[in-house]
Each structure stands twice: as C-alpha cells, then as structure tokens.
C-alpha cells in the first residue's frame, strides 16, 4: 500500500522556473526522503529530513516537513532540462523500510 | 552510479514459471531491500535482509522469497508467476553508517506473458 501521495501527479515548467512538489502521508514517521527516478531506471536519493526537522537545503533543493499536517514539499529552484524525471517521497517508520508515494512526473522544457 | 548492480536487466517469462533475480550490493553495505514497481506506480517494499536474515516483509505472498549471501549479494525468487508480477524489480542496499539512505540498482524489468 502507498503511504505517501504526491501532488501534482505531473508538472510541466520552463527551464529556469521553480518546481514545487508536495507529499502527504498517513502515519507517524522517523524521517521522510525524496528520490528521483529517470525513465523507469533506479532511484537516486536526493535528501532526507528527520521528523524533528522543519526545513532542509541541499544545493538547489529545499525540503520542508510539517508533521502536524503530515505533509512535505520539495522545491527545485532554477530548474534545468536535466531535472526532468519522476520524483517520489518515501517515509520511513520502522526497520529502515521505505514506503513510497506514486510520484510526480516533472518535465522541464528547454 | 550507486555501485549496486542487478541482473538480468530484462526478462520475459510465462505464467506459472519461476524466476530468480540477482543483486550485488554496494561495497560495505550489509542490508538489502527489494521493491516491486508496477508501471506508473511508486516502488512497493517486498522484503529486507540484514546479515543473511529476513528483517521485515511487505504485503507480498510467500511465493516471493529471498536470500542474502555472506558477501551480502542477494536473490529474489518468485514462484508460480502471475501476469500481475510484471514490473520493475529494484534492489537497494544500505550501509552501517547511514542505514536510512538506500542506494538503488537500475532494476530488472520482468514481463510475464
């Protein structure tokens, strides 16, 4: 079963614009992670935010976490065509098991 | 490149057959997890192995089984294949220092006809 639900399901923007994706989840978590997947290949870890953190930055990525609303957002600033991919949030609640959402397909047009 | 390799990359089987997928973990990683990703969906957790023992299982029937070897490589076995088993199967390894972060292989795409 899916724990997280990403919103929107698909997002199309122009190069240089910012992209924001949201994730909602249902149960309490230890941490929340964002992964990227290119064209049905393996997933690449982007960033991890712990349940006691509210915001985290990594390069052009900014992640927020609101545990009271059980939601997170991923912001990609100054997007590039190479950012085109599917983005998944994944929650970890126990035993390092990850529960993924259905993902957001981001298309960045040159 | 994550250092996690999976084989084969593609596989075609018929309903009722058995299949074995293989994964070589990143050096130094002692935990491996397997995920099934259907088309257009997120990965779903199948099970995890830690030091050759199953360390958690998702909502998959017993015909999905696994092994982890002393060198931390791993196998996923699926018996009595069904059409719905068609998916991308992903292996992910994690290490002692950062157990939360999983490093994924490129996956094996299984088609069941």
**Per-residue pLDDT reduced to its tens digit, B71-97:** 889 999 999 999 999 999 999 998 877
- Dihedral angle computed from the Cα positions of residues A42, A95, A70 and A56, in that order, rounded to the nearest 10 degrees: -60
Say whether A33 and B100 touch across the interface (CB within 8 A): yes
The one-character DSSP state at B62 is T
pLDDT band at B3 (very low <50, low <70, confident <90, very high): confident
**pLDDT value for B77:** 98
Q: Considering chain B, what is the average pLDDT of its residues?
A: 93
Q: Which residue has the higher pLDDT, A89 or A40?
A: A89
pLDDT band at B67 (very low <50, low <70, confident <90, very high): very high
Say whether A40 and B109 touch across the interface (CB within 8 A): yes
Instruction: Say yes or no: A103 contacts chain B, CB-CB below 8 A.
Output: yes
Over residues B92-105, the mean pLDDT reads 84
Tell me the pLDDT tens digit for each residue of B48-60. Answer: 998 899 988 999 9
Query: With 90 as the cut, is the pLDDT of residue B61 above it?
Result: yes
Scan residues 58-87 of A and list those with Cβ closer than 8 Å to B. none
**pLDDT value for A2:** 52
Residues of B in CB contact (< 8 Å) with A are 2, 4, 31, 33, 35, 40-45, 48, 55-56, 58-59, 88, 90, 92, 94, 99-107, 109
CB A103 within 8 A of CB A8: no
Query: With 60 as the cut, is the pLDDT of residue A80 above it?
Result: yes
**pLDDT value for B1:** 64
**pLDDT value for A3:** 61
pLDDT band at B28 (very low <50, low <70, confident <90, very high): confident
Angle at alpha carbon of residue B59, lines to B56 and B63, rounded to 5°: 90
Angle at alpha carbon of residue A42, lines to A36 and A48, rounded to 5°: 40
- Dihedral angle computed from the Cα positions of residues B68, B72, B73 and B78, in that order, rounded to the nearest 10 degrees: 20
Instruction: Say yes or no: A102 contacts chain B, CB-CB below 8 A.
Output: yes
**pLDDT value for A64:** 98
CB B48 within 8 A of CB B42: no
């Amino acid at each position: 079963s899916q724990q997280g639900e990403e919103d929107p399901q698909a997002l199309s923007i122009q190069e240089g614009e910012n992209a924001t994706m949201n994730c909602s989840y249902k149960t309490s978590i230890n941490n929340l992670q964002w992964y990227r997947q290119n064209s049905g290949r393996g997933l690449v870890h982007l960033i991890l935010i712990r349940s006691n953190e509210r915001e985290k930055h990594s390069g052009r990525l900014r992640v927020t976490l609101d545990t009271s609303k059980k939601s997170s957002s991923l912001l990609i600033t100054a997007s590039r065509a190479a950012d085109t991919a599917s983005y998944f949030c994944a929650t970890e609640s126990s035993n390092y098991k990850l529960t993924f959402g259905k993902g957001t397909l981001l298309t960045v047009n040159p | 490149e994550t250092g996690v390799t999976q084989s084969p990359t593609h596989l075609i089987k018929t309903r009722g057959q058995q299949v074995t997928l293989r994964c070589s973990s990143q050096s130094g990683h002692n935990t491996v997890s397997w995920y099934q990703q259907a088309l257009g969906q997120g990965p779903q957790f199948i099970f995890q192995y830690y030091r050759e023992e199953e360390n958690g299982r998702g909502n998959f029937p017993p015909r999905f089984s696994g092994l982890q070897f002393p060198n931390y490589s791993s196998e996923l076995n699926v018996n009595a294949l069904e059409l719905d088993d068609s998916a991308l199967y992903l292996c992910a390894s994690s290490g002692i220092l950062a157990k939360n972060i999983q490093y994924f292989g490129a996956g094996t795409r299984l088609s069941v006809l």
